[in-house]
Structure 1
Amino acid sequence: MNTNFLSLTVELLIGFFALLVMTKILGKTQITQLSPFDFISALVLGELVGNAIYDDEIGLQYVLYAIVFWGVLIFAIEMVTQKFRGSRSFLEDKPALVIAEGKIQYEELKKNKLDLNQLHHLLREKDVFSVREVAYGVLETNGSVSVLKKQPVDTPKNSDLQVPAKPVFLPITLILDGEIIEESLRKLEKEKSWLTDELFRRGIPGPSSVLFAEWLEGEGFEIQTY
């Protein structure tokens, strides 16, 4: 029994790191832009590792070979789609214009197996509750809809309102779940004492009492306690 547990632990560890390495090699698009092809790839890779764990007749070396070979295939297809534009529509599909000049393109909906209820659901995810607000809608290859609103309901830009330009800064998280993030202090070139002094000034006894704290240049601290 102990040997079985040890063997299972080794297989899980190797499978985990093999998939992790493969994900790093293939890039973040496997997660953030899940096309039908990417979805199939994820299922196959998961199934390969599952076979190694639960099927004693399949050796781990064969599964690792299959993972690497499958990863090479995916990488090769990514290279093909980058080099040969004509292959993209077949291998990765292409965006579809489902709303044009405020009109729903019914034929495009049918072609992409999308009904009106699904279209309204996708629009609501973009904070659009009526088709009348939409000038153009594009069904992306990952299944989401990108929306260009009509001018009367579109959000005005700072340039439209003639707001003077200001520099933009990223907020830096200093405390998370009661723990000080050392790397953030190094970015700000500050010491722990600077942060704890700021907490004391606000009547907070220490970092352990803080759920979340961040620093934003020009605006200062945002601190939330438990």
Structure 2
Amino acid sequence: MGLFFNSWNDIGRIFILGVMGYIALVFLLRISGNRTLSKLNAFDFVVTIALGSTFGSLLLNRNVSLTEGVTALAVLIGLQYVVAWLTVKSDTVKRIIKNEPSLVYYNGKYIKDSMKRSRVVEEEIEQSVRNHGYANMEHIGAVILETDGSFSIISQSEKEGKEPDIIGLKV
């Protein structure tokens, strides 16, 4: 009908489905636990995006009923729960689903092979170091690209005089 307004009926539908869908989503997220919306790895990120897309479809697509939308949300959350559980129980599933952290800078040197595999450039590492409050790289002992895509910064003083002993990282 119109570019800016179709009908009050459509606005009412979106409002009612939005409120009811939101309540259902919060309920499903509460019973599934904190892990459902974590950002521990790429799989968790994909599930979060899929939940948002599904909720948006519920609100804006007239062909999707509340029951269908809530069912889709429950399926996504249920699958995320099952995959997270399998990841804890099976090393094979864990290797398939999760990335390993990558050491990209250590003792004043960029680790080019690791950076290339991770598709990271020096400027991104330096930006992350600045974001953590360091003016330059001289006080940085190590930079790790974590499984969620964030960088962990280990200051020189934290590892001074020691060989790398970074939890969960193969050097």
TM-score (norm 2): 0.77
Aligned alpha-carbon RMSD (Å): 2.4
Matched, 1:14 2:13: no
List runs of 5+ in structure 1 lacking aligned partners: 155-226
2:52 pairs, out of 36, 46, 51, with: 46
How many percent of aligned residue pairs carry the same amino acid? 19
1:128 pairs, out of 134, 137, 141, with: 134
After TM superposition, the runs of 4+ consecutive aligned structure 1 residues lying more than 6 A away are none
In structure 2, do the counterparts of structure 1 residues 106 and 61 end up closer, same or farther at CA, with 3 Å as the change threshold? same
Offset from partner CA, 1:32-57 (integer Å, 9 cap, x none) = 53532222112211111211211112
TM-score (norm 1): 0.60
List runs of 5+ in structure 2 lacking aligned partners: 1-6, 161-171
* 1:152 Cα offset (Å): 9.0
CA distance, structure 1, for counterparts of residue 10 and residue 30 of structure 2: 30
Larger radius of gyration: 1
Offset from partner CA, 1:18-77 (integer Å, 9 cap, x none) = 221233234334555353222211221111121121111222211111111111100011
Alignment of 1:99-118 (within 5 A): 99-118=105-124
Structure whose residues are more often strand by fraction? 1
1:119 pairs, out of 125, 144, 152, with: 125
1:84 alignment partner in structure 2:
90
1:88–1:94 Cα contact (<8 Å) kept:
no
Residue type of the alignment partner of 2:132 = K
Give the number of equivalent residue pairs.
154
* 1:131 Cα offset (Å): 2.3
Structure whose residues are more often helix by fraction? 2
* 1:118 Cα offset (Å): 0.8
Higher relative contact order (CA 8 A, sep 6+): 2
1:134–1:148 Cα contact (<8 Å) kept:
yes
Alignment of 1:1-226 (within 5 A): 1=7, 3-31=9-37, 33-151=39-157
| Corresponding residue SS for 2:74 | helix
* 1:89 Cα offset (Å): 3.7
